[in-house]
Chains A and B, each alone.
Chain A
Amino acid sequence: MVLSAVLVGLVLGLGVSSTAQAQGETGVKGTLKDQDDNLISEVEITVSDADGNEIATTASAEDGTWSVPLESPGTYLVALDESTLPNGLLVRNGRPQLEVEVRASERTVLFPLDTQLDPNAQPQETEAPGGSDSTGDGEEETTGAVEAEDEIDPEIESAAGPTRAVSLLFSGIHFGLMIALAAVGLSMVFGTTGLTNFSHGDLVTFGGVMALMFNIIVGLPVWAAVIGAVAAGALFGWLQDWGLWSRLRKRGTGLITMMIISIGVALLIRFATLFFVGGERRRYDEYVGQTPWDLGWLVITPKEVYTGLIAALVCSAVGLALVFTRLGKATRAVADNPSLASSTGIDVNRVIRLVWTIGGALAALAGVFLSVNDGVKFDMGQHLLLLVFAAVVLGGLGTAFGAFIGAMLIGIFVQMSTLVIAPELKYVGALAVLIIVMLTRPQGILGRRERIG
């Protein structure tokens, strides 16, 4: 969504605006402003009913406000006449006509105005695999005042029955692999240091943003940007442990304090992203609209297949390394019992540094792969984080293999649940699973009971 809308959301979120709104009257209203908050007057706005019959035309006043009273609640079309806009100004999201649902109150309609319209402005719909158009979200995006929260992964609307289930299963496996990439790092950091790292989701965003930078600003092809982003993610993880977490451990900072610090770090990354990238969903310049492969029983885009396969390979490589390499064994030893590992000569701090580096790299990889499908947005990691937590808790906190299993289960559950429940509630289902697991088997599938205090 547009930056201004996000900012409005943020400001409202903190309750800065305390002006009370008029209540009780039915109608639509709004205030026209450009990106610098200059008020725009004398712009014509036409309101018509759902059948297209014009009800009223009004022009915005000196202070940019306009309003049209309506007789009854219902669905109305609000159209802004772009030819009456002052020089160079355009409706930023390319939607001068909005369909709004008016209830028994005055409804605010926002048109985001801007001088520079991105010629490649994408319509807001998330891209649907299998080429079917997603028709969801329409209602939310008309508001503009509230940030429309595009789901991280696309819906499948048209296909029905078993085909839809198969499609959902595959997109669930894909999504699960993405969660697994992020979850392994989170779980290993928890295992080795005891820290529940709330900033791990924003490491995912960081990867997506780095790839965006390499791809759009530096101009590298996406495959090279992926490598760059993973390297940047590894470096970022290493730097975080070197500059912050290892020092905090040395100071003897409590784990709860560290946990709250990690939320602070998450906000720092998120707002830095918002500052530099802005609030819109940004896409890479390749693989945006890909022709899907139609296998009859399954329609899938090549990018999904390849990113899924790479993710599966990386996850298996990490798993094999944990079991067979010396360093992997040392990592598991530290996760099991840091002091015992230390007394057998394992350099615990070196292992933790390694876990942070690998964790950062894997999270970045997840970020890029998710962004290849759905674009980069500053809060993508934040939304993923809770699913990652659900996966890690389901598999057993602190175990790498548990995290993998948990991630696959959560990914498939999230997608398959849309067969039964509304797609907008699918995350709720996953989070409910998290709470139920807590209630019945808090140590998770692979965890051991004595870990729980």
Chain B
Amino acid sequence: MDWHFVFSQALTQAIGPTMLIYAIAAIGLNVQFGYTGLLNFGQAAFAAMGAYGLALAVVAFGLPFGWGILIGFGAAIVMALLLGIPTLRLRADYLAIVTIAAAEIVRRLARATVWSEYTGGSDGMRGFSEPFFELSPYNPDANWSVLFVSMDGGRLIVDLGIVDFQYSSRDLWVMTVGWILVAIFLVVVGLLVHSPWGRVLKGIREDEEAVRSLGKNVFAYKMQALVIGGIIGAAAGFIFALSRANVQPDTFSTDFTFYFYVVLILGGAARLFGPVLGAALFWFLFNLLSLTLNQGIRSDLIPREVLAPTQVGPLVFFLMGLGMVLLLIFRPQGILGNRRELMLDVR
């Protein structure tokens, strides 16, 4: 068992590009679910709006990259309005059903062969990310080394002895942009929720009727929260699409949304840093588990009859799901959360 490799990889992933996707999407979800109590089960669709908005604009319509970003955000806003108008006046679980259905509609439309000459059908699209990587300040052939930090052919290596972190120059650029986005969104959301506006949101979560009786337009506040969360979700979609340089419809499934919830609740809903902490911890645990199991199989510590390499994936997802259920039962406030703040109910 190569524990150095396992822990290095797990820690590398805990702050890597993939974790950023989940962190950003969960920040958006935090505005909707954590602060306002909106059960958006279609955050994957908002991410898809961002990713597909960008990819379609650049690849299918030949627009500049910047327009792609704007179209992605625009698509997310339109979708939030479309979903919000019918459902935000209804009880919370109706929004849940409608958003989950809408996310499925988006996924099925994206993989439909009817317009696959534009969307690529189930293969998705690529070829939109080069303008983004051309902006990268990192030289893909850099070679230098300062103390424990070194650059080897554009690959950043931070060797701390016990563990090391390694990122390619492309990952590095995605991470730079991703962490800047996380910082911006945290500041914006932090300012918003501590403003009078944010207090109304929390009021809606606690008791909608009470807020309504104070003369506030609850519907408008909910809609604003849905739109803001959706925009942040679209930003997660950009990072998702750019970090992998392609978009594929089947990656935006309902499971994707569920793991955003896992991340959010693990870190602590309605806590500013909850999503970021949750995403880091989630990806650390996920990689730790799957790498340990894989290494165990490879070094014959786990017999192949007990666990085949192809079964590692399902097993890890199973264990993460189990952890999620147990967490919700015994510590629904997550790591940072306040238990009293999350006694949500719909009746």
Contacts and interface: CB of A to CB of B under 8 A. Distances in A.
Contacts of B192: none
Interface in A242-279: 248, 251, 253-257, 259-261, 263-265, 267-268, 271-272, 274-275, 278
Contacts of B87: 438
A439 interface: yes
A79 interface: no
B7 interface: no
A386 interface: yes
A386 B41 CA distance: 12
B166 interface: no
Interface of A: 3-4, 7, 9-18, 20-21, 23-24, 35-37, 103-105, 107, 139-140, 143, 145-149, 194, 196, 198, 248, 251, 253-257, 259-261, 263-265, 267-268, 271-272, 274-275, 278, 382, 386, 389-390, 393, 422, 424-425, 427-428, 431-432, 434-435, 438-439, 442, 452-453
Tier of interface size on chain B: 35 or more
Contacts of B39: 256, 259
B123 to A, nearest CB: 6
Interface stretch (B155-163, B179-187, B322-330): B322-330
A387 to B, nearest CB: 10
A386 B101 contact: yes
Interface of B: 13, 16-18, 21, 37, 39, 41, 85-87, 90-94, 96-98, 100-102, 104-105, 108-109, 111-114, 120-123, 126-127, 129-130, 170-171, 174, 240, 243-246, 248, 250-251, 253-256, 258-259, 261, 265, 286, 309-311, 313-315, 317-318, 321-322, 324-325, 328-329, 332, 342-347
A139 to B, nearest CB: 6
B17 A435 contact: no
What 5 A-B pairs come out closest when comparing CB atoms?
Answer: A439-B86, A453-B91, A267-B321, A264-B325, A271-B318
Given A23-B127, A259-B39, A389-B97, A452 B91 contact: yes
Secondary structure dominating the interface of B: helix
A224 B278 CA distance: 47
Contacts of B21: 15
Given A18-B243, A389-B101, 16 more contacts: A16-B13, A20-B129, A20-B170, A146-B248, A248-B329, A255-B93, A255-B346, A261-B328, A264-B321, A271-B317, A271-B318, A275-B318, A386-B100, A424-B113, A425-B109, A439-B85
A103 B121 CA distance: 12
B93 A196 contact: yes
A265 B326 CA distance: 10
Contact of B343 (A148, A254, A272, A453): A254
Among A107, A261, A422, A453, residue most surrounded by chain B Cβ atoms (within 10 Å): A453
A386 B315 contact: no
A386 B96 CA distance: 11
Contacts of A11: 313
Nearest to A438: B86
A36 B255 CA distance: 26
Contacts of B85: 439
A42 B104 CA distance: 42
Nearest to A148: B122
A442 B94 contact: yes
A268 B122 contact: no
21 contacts: A14-B286, A18-B174, A20-B245, A140-B121, A143-B122, A145-B123, A196-B97, A254-B346, A256-B93, A256-B344, A256-B345, A260-B265, A263-B41, A264-B324, A274-B314, A275-B314, A389-B100, A422-B113, A435-B86, A438-B97, A442-B90
